[in-house]
């Protein structure tokens, strides 16, 4: 069965079984320490309610690891409602008490899809949100996510007409520079040319605007061995730097409900990466490229996320978070490392895409 048919079937079933969501509960926000372009600071994460990613809702079924649409309304939303919920969340943050005077503050607007797609975030709501941020002196950086096909000069002109000289970063889920993996294992539906076109538009717009790009790198798509996953992630960061991406952020796989990756995981055909693999990836990327490289640690140490052993999961998670601020190398050792080394080595030998931990190879 083609990957699209399979993803679509799983997606449809998951939508069918999902409960009706209360719109008011879909918007949320929080803040945490983060690495900004201006250095260590704080980022407000704000989830905007949207009908859902058009790629996931369309005939493709969306990406094989993504369950964002389970947090979406799946029906059109009135502009006034988006504006009201944005206002409710934004006003929760008191810049006088939540943040210290002089704190560097960024805001990440999550649309659970593409912020730049007017079918997901209508222009009127987008303009309102950006206007509000433009008038907030404390916020210096605005970060959004988008698929590459929605990046164009016209939308950048519209945005910068409102936000002036604030920094605006567009994060794009490239996932991997390997087109075979992106198309046939992630079901992402765009090629390197489309990504490069979006990056070129951003590079060209830098002459006029304070615009930046970020590439998301997905660590360990389905049907890749542990070794292949490590190599592809490292290679992808090299590619991003080469074509002019401003920074990269690695997202190691976690198993989300209602996805193809979950189906393979349930049947023993897929395991999220070892935390050792994640460390190998981020250490090597930081040696290879000059652009900042971040590592997400969501789901670390859980049954559905990257895992080493009970002794080292937690400590390594905190070490990775800390290293994001100063871009340092992570040095650590634990007894479980030899198991990981064996898996990496033998996955090369056997070309196996599944874990070998039940084989007595070490
Ligand atoms: S990863 Fe992005 S493009 Fe893919 S289904 Fe999820 S939101 Fe849509
Ligand atoms: Zn360990």
For 32-87, the pLDDT digits (tens) are 999 999 999 999 999 999 999 999 999 999 999 999 998 899 999 999 999 999 99
Least confident of 8-17, 105-114, 167-176, 276-285: 8-17
Proximal ligand: closest to the CA of 337:
2
Cα-flanking dihedrals φ and ψ of residue 90, to 5°? -65, -40
Residue among 68, 72, 218 to mutate when testing ligand 1 (max atoms within 8 A of CB) = 68
State the burial class of residue 196 (Cβ atoms within 10 Å of its Cβ: 0-12, 13-18, 19+): middle
Q: How confident is the model at residue 359 (pLDDT cuts 50, 70, 90)?
A: very low
Q: Which of 80, 172, 86, 84 is nearest to 136 (CA)?
A: 86
Rounded to the nearest angstrom, the distance between the alpha carbon of 342 and the centre of ligand 2 is: 14
The pLDDT score that the predictor gives to residue 99 is: 80
Mean pLDDT calculated for residue range 309-319: 97
Which DSSP string corresponds to 28-97?
EEEEEEEEETTEEEEEEEEEPP-S--HHHHSTT---TT--GGGGS--S---HHHHHHHHHHHHTT--TTT
Quickly list H helices, 164-243. 179-184, 192-205, 226-243
Q: Which residues have CB under 8 Å from 193's CB, separation 6+?
A: none
For 217-235, the pLDDT digits (tens) are 999 999 999 999 999 999 9
Rounded to the nearest angstrom, the distance between the alpha carbon of 329 and the centre of ligand 2 is: 18
For 104-119, the pLDDT digits (tens) are 899 999 999 999 999 9
For 156-185, the pLDDT digits (tens) are 999 999 999 999 999 999 999 999 999 999
Rounded to the nearest angstrom, the distance between the alpha carbon of 62 and the centre of ligand 1 is: 6
Q: Whose CA is nearest to atom 4 of ligand 1?
A: 63
- CB of 216 within 6 A of ligand 1: the answer is no
The pLDDT score that the predictor gives to residue 329 is: 98
Quickly list H helices, 244-336. 260-266, 275-288, 313-326
Q: Whose CA is nearest to atom 2 of ligand 1?
A: 113
CATH number for the segment(s) 3-350: 3.20.20
Q: Whose CA is nearest to atom 6 of ligand 1?
A: 66
- CB of 221 within 6 A of ligand 1: the answer is no
Instruction: Count CB-CB contacts under 10 A for residue 177.
Output: 21
Rounded to the nearest angstrom, the distance between the alpha carbon of 34 and the centre of ligand 2 is: 26
Domain ranges of the chain: 3-350
């Amino acid at each position: 069965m083609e990957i699209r048919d399979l993803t679509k079937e799983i997606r449809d079933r998951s939508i069918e079984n999902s409960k009706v969501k209360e719109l008011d509960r879909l918007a949320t926000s929080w803040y945490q320490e983060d690495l900004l372009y201006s250095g260590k600071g704080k980022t407000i994460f704000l989830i905007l309610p949207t009908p859902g990613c058009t790629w996931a809702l369309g005939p493709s079924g969306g990406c094989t690891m993504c369950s964002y649409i389970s947090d979406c309304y799946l029906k059109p939303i009135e502009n006034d409602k988006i504006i009201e919920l944005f206002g409710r969340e934004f006003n929760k943050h008191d810049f006088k008490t939540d943040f210290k005077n002089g704190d560097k503050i960024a805001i990440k607007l999550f649309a659970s899809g593409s912020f730049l797609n007017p079918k997901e975030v209508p222009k009127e709501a987008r303009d309102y949100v950006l206007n509000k941020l433009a008038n907030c002196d404390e916020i210096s950086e605005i970060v959004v996510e988008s698929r590459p096909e929605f990046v164009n000069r016209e939308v950048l002109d519209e945005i910068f007409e409102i936000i002036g000289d604030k920094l605006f970063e567009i994060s794009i889920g490239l996932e991997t520079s390997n087109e075979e993996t992106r198309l046939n294992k992630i079901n992402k539906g765009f090629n390197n040319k489309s990504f490069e076109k979006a990056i070129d538009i951003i590079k060209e717009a830098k002459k006029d605007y304070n615009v930046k790009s970020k590439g998301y790198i997905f660590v360990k798509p389905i049907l890749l061995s542990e070794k292949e996953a490590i190599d592809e992630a490292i290679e992808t960061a090299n590619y991003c730097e080469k074509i002019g991406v401003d920074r990269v952020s690695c997202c190691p796989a976690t198993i989300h409900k209602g996805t193809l990756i979950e189906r393979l995981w349930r049947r023993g055909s897929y395991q999220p990466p070892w935390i050792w693999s994640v460390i190998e990836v981020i250490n090597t990327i930081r040696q290879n490229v000059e652009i900042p490289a971040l590592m997400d640690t969501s789901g670390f140490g859980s049954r559905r996320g990257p895992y080493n052993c009970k002794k080292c999961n937690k400590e390594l998670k905190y070490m990775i978070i800390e290293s994001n601020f100063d871009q340092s190398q992570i040095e650590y050792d634990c007894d479980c490392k030899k198991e990981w080394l064996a898996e990496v080595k033998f996955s090369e030998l056997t070309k196996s895409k599944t874990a070998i931990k039940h084989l007595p190879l070490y």
